Amino acid sequence: MASQEYSKELHIALLAVQRATLLTKSVFHSHAKGTLNKSDASPVTIGDFGAQALIIAALQHNFPQDEIVAEEEAKDLRENDQLRETVWDLVKGASLSDATAENELGGSISSPEAMLDIIDKGNSKGGNRGRIWAIDPIDGTKGFLRGGQYAVCLGLMVDGDVKVGVLGCPNLPVSDSERLSENIGADATDAEGKGVLFSAVLGQGAQSRPLSKDTVSSPSSIHMKPLANISEATFCESVEAGHSSQGDAAAIAQKLGITKPSVRMDSQAKYGSIARGAGDLYLRLPARKDYVEKIWDHAAGDLIVREAGGQVTDVEGKRLDFSLGRTLANNKGVIAAPKDVHGEVIEAVKSILNK
């Protein structure tokens, strides 16, 4: 049998995300996270820089022609010798325990200077032509710092359309059958039995597998949970009130007859959770009129939910458009739901937001 389309891209993406996620876990457990505030006042840590370096190095080794859009840049590391050395110590020590897998990723980065150049290779403008990877090395950095959920995110777009998506979620349960509890966002740990990789290839379905330390584990297919009645839904939203309007979410839930409290969780772990049927809806309602969402915050999650039987749009019901550059310039907010109830959710969203 001929290998399936994008099978090499998926394999490398899974390995690369796995290796980077292991690096972030070591920072998650350390007291010194090397946190800086960026110009938009959002935090970045040594874990973000290190994970971005490892993922880009793996992509460059395997797909040297491809472009890369990644969240972070090396400027702060070029200006701060101590911070650079700390990140370099993390990166040079990061490897998968399986030698073949490590080889497939191209092995270690050669020097601190090479590491900085690799981090800055994520500066593509994006767009609607050719192969472009989108990387969020730590999505939900605030959750990461709080000891909550976060995700290592990688997507491949071809001509502006997402074809492959991988999310590494070290603090989510391995089992797809565990329903969400209210405190999953706030009380997350990556103790034994935690850590999952979600993935999807366009037209080939969505999968989960345990996060491993060597090569990739075998997958299970994941699906959104059938909902007999929308009023029984569990919905997920951000922990951060500044990222998503929680008042609007409550009003929409009430309109839909939903009585269960929302589950608040940081990062694209929300997309992975509803894709595996651990929750049902994801509501991200614009909290600030001027905020424009970034493609790396949604590319992998959007595909994983759609391949698991869901529909993902903005608050007006438009598909997310990844072809416009580094941002989702043409979309406001995100509404993800099982296909057959998505229309009903959008009607409720419009009726509340247009008030």
280 token code pair: 């049902």
Please choose, out of 27-35, 75-83, 122-130, 133-141, the segment that lies near ligand A2P by the rule CB under 6 A: 133-141
Judge whether 280 counts as a catalytic residue. no
Give rounded-to-5 percent helix, strand, coil for the chain.
Answer: 35, 20, 40
Q: Which residues contact 329 (CB under 8 A, 6 or more apart)?
A: 292, 321
CB of 173 to ligand A2P, least distance (A): 18
Q: Is 188 exposed, middle or buried (0-12, 13-18, 19+ CB in 10 A)?
A: buried
On whether 9 is known to bind a ligand per the annotation, the reply is no
Residue holding tokens 């929300």?
A: 270
Indicate the residue among 240 and 340 with the shorter CB distance to ligand A2P.
Answer: 240
In a 3-state reduction of DSSP, which class is residue 228? coil
Indicate the residue among 102 and 139 with the shorter CB distance to Mg ion.
Answer: 139
Indicate the residue among 96 and 157 with the shorter CB distance to ligand A2P.
Answer: 157
On whether 240 is known to bind a ligand per the annotation, the reply is no
The active-site residue out of 21, 45, 86, 141 is 141
Q: In terms of Cα–Cα distance, which of 275, 104, 283 is closest to 200?
A: 275
Judge whether 189 counts as a catalytic residue. no
Instruction: Give the binding-site size for ligand A2P (rule: CB under 6 A).
Output: 18
Are 106 and 99 in contact by the 8 Å Cβ rule? The answer is: no
Cα torsion 239, 242, 243, 245 to 10°: value is 90
Indicate the residue among 142 and 306 with the shorter CB distance to ligand A2P.
Answer: 142
* Residues 215-244: x where in contact with ligand A2P by CB under 6 A, - otherwise, as a string: -----------------------x-x-xxx
CB of 26 to Mg ion, least distance (A): 17
On whether 76 is known to bind a ligand per the annotation, the reply is no
The active-site residue out of 48, 176, 248, 302 is 48
The strand pairing partners of 327, in sequence order, are 294
**Position among 9, 102, 139, 190 found at the interface with ligand A2P (CB under 6 A):** 139
Query: What sign results for the dihedral spanned by CA atoms 145, 141, 41, 236?
Result: negative
Instruction: Summarize the annotated binding site for Mg(2+) as residue ranges.
Output: 71, 136, 138-139, 297
* Residues forming the active site: 48, 141
Note the residues at the interface with ligand A2P (CB under 6 A): 42, 71, 136, 139-143, 238, 240, 242-244, 266-267, 288, 291, 297
